[in-house]
Amino acid sequence: MSAPLIPPAVPAKPALPFLPFTRPSIDEETIAGVAEVLRSGWITSGPQVKAFEAKLSEYCGGRPVRAFNSGTCTMEIALRVAGVGPGHEVITTPLSWVATSNVILEVGAKPVFVDIDPVTRNIDLNRIEAAITPRTKAILPVDLAGLPVDRDRLHALAKKHQLRVIEDAAQSFGSTWQGKRIGSFGDFVSFSFHPNKNVTSIEGGCLVLNNEREAALAEQYRLQGVVRTGYDGMEVEVVGGKFNLTDVAARVGLGQLPHLDAFNAKRAELVKIYFELLNTPANRGLALQLPVADFTATNWHMFQVVLQEERLTIKRARVMELLQAAGIGCQVHYPAIHLFALYRRLGWKDGDYPLAEYAGRNILTIPLFPAMARADVVRVVAALAGILKAHQK
């Protein structure tokens, strides 16, 4: 008796690769350039940093620009150059990476939070004037996800009250206001080149200043307050830090800058697909709020939705867990700053800034980076929509 025929096993369909919420695109020319820097023997601050600063200055309309090892120290140094210190107050938003307010504490000043506009998720400029006191020295706004704060109103407010402005433009490199590049006008402008930003130098940032006097002081703060003259002259007049950028990092930044417009154009293309898919009749009733559909000023650093917690039976953490199980990365940018333990100890509490708190509990960053394809956006929307529909009230 012959053995029964056994049908061949159907090969399992390969699982889709994990889709992170972001991923930098670094070309081979840049990788080769980094190898050249490593071989040169000059890997700390040197000619590549100078070249990077020159290109950044050109991008910012010829304004003085200094490069640093993060987009956090740039804000701290801007505050110091502006003379902000103990006894002063700085107005800022509670919806940002905690670095935005930590630098205010670092210089001995007090953050004064102002609630957000729930549509733009940026600081509500209508609320700023009520927060100004005789101790107010500066305003430190944030362009959340790359959407610029209204620069006309911001600088008019600052001028009226004789305040300095330190723009936390960490997320808005490549964004514009009224057709002008962020960084090409205004007061201090701080950019970040962290790996999740639109262009990266691995770690790093830069500060745009108003004149060479401010730039020279920023340089002092950048490296232990040291000023060198001649062959052996050295003086220290201020307490500086160790904030210099390496030539290795600068070479990555130099390789990234020529691609900025293309990166941002691809981001905008992907975002249009997100809006298209999330606004279909089948998805229009999802329990979420979309970002402002701005395609003239925003660099689309991130694509963020705000879950409508009152319409869902699960919390954001469970939504994130289910997305992760589907092979889709997501992140939170950001919890409300004033509810961290450090800030609670300084006197802030639940209910102080309800709009920022709602966003902080429910904001969700979903994948967006230039190497994505339409099929990736389709996959993200299908997974997110499926999760929300299964758990909506």
Residues with Cβ within 8 Å of 305's Cβ and at least 6 positions away in sequence, in order, are 288, 289, 290, 291, 363, 364, 366, 384
Q: For residue 193, which phi and psi values (nearest 5 degrees)?
A: -120, 35
Give the span between the Cα atoms of 183 and 33, in whole angstroms: 27
Query: Which region, left, alpha or beta, applies to residue 186 given φ > 0 means left and ψ of -120 to 50 means alpha?
Result: left
Q: Please give the Cα distance from 153 to 173 (Å, whole number).
A: 20
Give the integer Cα–Cα distance in Å for 291 and 303.
7
Residue 168 bridge partners (DSSP): 142, 190
Distance CA 122, CA 293 (A): 14
Distance CA 100, CA 107 (A): 12
| 197, 266, 349, 393: the active-site residue | 197
Give the span between the Cα atoms of 132 and 142, in whole angstroms: 18
Residue 140 to residue 153: CA distance in whole angstroms:
14
Peptide bond into 334 cis (omega under 30): yes
| CB of 178 closer than 8 Å to CB of 132 | no
3-state SS, residue 366: strand
Instruction: Specify which residues 363 forms β-bridges with.
Output: 306
Question: Bridge partners of 142?
Answer: 168
| Residue in 134, 142, 152, 137 with CA at minimum distance from that of residue 114 | 142
φ, ψ (nearest 5 deg) of residue 364: -140, 125
Give me the phi and psi of 175, to 5 degrees please: -80, 165
Quick check: is 389 catalytic?
Answer: no
Q: How far apart are CA 168 and CA 150, in angstroms?
A: 13
Please identify every residue annotated as catalytic.
197
